[in-house]
């Protein structure tokens, strides 16, 4: 018998992995959550049927949503992660030598529990001395902060359900207010091949709240199209310029940092920066 899990990455595109077992399959207060054991990628976390992370390729996404800002900010002491309940981004944050405190605000505690139960390489971060884990709506949390953080990372699902507001201009403005006057914001902003509208929404929204806005790319095999974008807003520092140095990584390095900002023409066109 063959068991498969399929993510419909678009209505016309299926991404299927052979699985050996279903480890968790539940409706939480906020979303459907599943953990399956795949042959190709090891354990896989899905929310509302969308692949969030897997054992085998989590390193790309988690390094690339964190290390660009961590290493272009000269002194990233206080870092806030909105979403990211699997703990992967938090692991990267607390392992950076310059960071003094990494705060994770996840709306759905069942994601945290699933990570603790099945993803030890991600959930290890929850118990780190520098880590603070808060179960709360990230949008409300950010509204109540002023000039508090050096970096805010938005590690969300795509803009459906609880994550819609995380892609809105008002949220980016309240994130800017929650950052110190030299702070940086990074948001995952989907695939340049499939989600041009999301990239435009994120990029234009961030641009309204930050004087410096740039897009960068990374290759995540389990995300639609395999090419993923991140939008970074910065009040002062150029996110392309490396200022600090973290621990060694599997995907990220100094050259990858700079190469990630070199956009193919069709990607530059999406954000109105084509030649």
User: Which residues bind to a copy of itself, rule: CB under 8 A?
Assistant: 4, 6, 10-18, 38-40, 57, 59-60, 193, 217, 219-221, 225-227, 248-253, 255-256, 258-260, 262-266, 275
**Of 162 and 192, which CB lies nearer to a copy of itself in the complex structure?**
192
Q: For residue 204, report the phi and psi dihedrals to the nearest 5 degrees.
A: -65, -40
Closest approach of Cβ 231 to a copy of itself, in Å? 18
Under DSSP, the state recorded for 127 is: G
Q: How far apart are CA 44 and CA 34, in angstroms?
A: 8
Contact present, 45 and 54 (Cβ < 8 Å): yes
Q: How far apart are CA 214 and CA 232, in angstroms?
A: 5
**Of 120 and 221, which CB lies nearer to a copy of itself in the complex structure?**
221
Widest pairwise Cα distance in the chain: 58
Q: Which of 155, 197, 238, 254 does the annotation list as catalytic?
A: 155
Say how many C-beta atoms besides its own lie within 10 A of residue 89's C-beta. 31
Closest approach of Cβ 62 to a copy of itself, in Å? 13
Contact present, 11 and 49 (Cβ < 8 Å): no
**Of 18 and 241, which CB lies nearer to a copy of itself in the complex structure?**
18
Closest approach of Cβ 250 to a copy of itself, in Å? 5
For 24-31, the CB contacts below 8 A with 24+ separation are 24/114, 24/117, 24/118, 26/110, 28/108, 28/110, 28/111, 29/108, 29/110, 30/107, 30/108, 30/161, 30/162, 31/108, 31/157, 31/161, 31/162
**Of 1 and 129, which CB lies nearer to a copy of itself in the complex structure?**
1
Quick check: is 155 catalytic?
yes
Give me the count of residues in the chain. Answer: 275
Closest among 135, 100, 149, 184 to 29, alpha carbons compared: 135
Closest approach of Cβ 43 to a copy of itself, in Å? 14
Closest approach of Cβ 132 to a copy of itself, in Å? 30
**Of 32 and 262, which CB lies nearer to a copy of itself in the complex structure?**
262
Query: Which residues are part of the catalytic machinery?
Result: 155
């Amino acid at each position: 018998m063959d068991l498969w899990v399929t993510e419909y990455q678009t209505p016309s595109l299926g991404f299927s992995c052979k699985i050996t077992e279903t480890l968790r399959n539940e409706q939480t207060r906020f979303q459907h959550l599943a953990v399956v054991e795949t042959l190709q990628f090891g354990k896989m976390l899905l929310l509302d049927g969308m692949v969030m992370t897997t054992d085998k390729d989590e390193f790309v996404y988690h390094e690339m949503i964190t290390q660009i800002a961590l290493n272009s900010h000269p002194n990233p002491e206080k870092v806030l992660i909105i979403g990211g309940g699997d703990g992967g981004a938090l692991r990267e944050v607390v392992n950076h030598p310059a960071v003094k405190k990494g705060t994770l605000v996840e709306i759905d505690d069942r994601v945290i529990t699933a990570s603790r139960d099945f993803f030890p390489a991600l959930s290890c971060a929850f118990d780190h001395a520098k880590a603070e884990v808060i179960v709360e709506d990230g949008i409300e949390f950010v509204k109540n902060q002023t000039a508090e953080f050096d970096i805010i990372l938005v590690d969300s699902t795509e803009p459906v359900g609880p994550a819609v507001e995380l892609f809105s201009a008002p949220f980016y403005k309240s994130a800017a207010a929650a950052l110190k006057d030299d702070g940086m914001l990074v948001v995952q902003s989907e695939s340049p091949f499939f989600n041009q509208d999301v990239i435009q929404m994120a990029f234009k929204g961030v641009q309204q709240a930050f004087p410096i806005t740039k897009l960068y790319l990374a290759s995540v095999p389990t995300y639609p199209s395999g090419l993923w974008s991140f939008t970074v807003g910065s009040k002062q520092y150029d996110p392309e310029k490396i200022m600090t140095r973290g621990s060694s990584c599997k995907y990220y390095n100094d050259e990858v940092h700079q190469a990630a900002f070199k956009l193919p023409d069709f990607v530059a066109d999406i954000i109105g920066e084509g030649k």
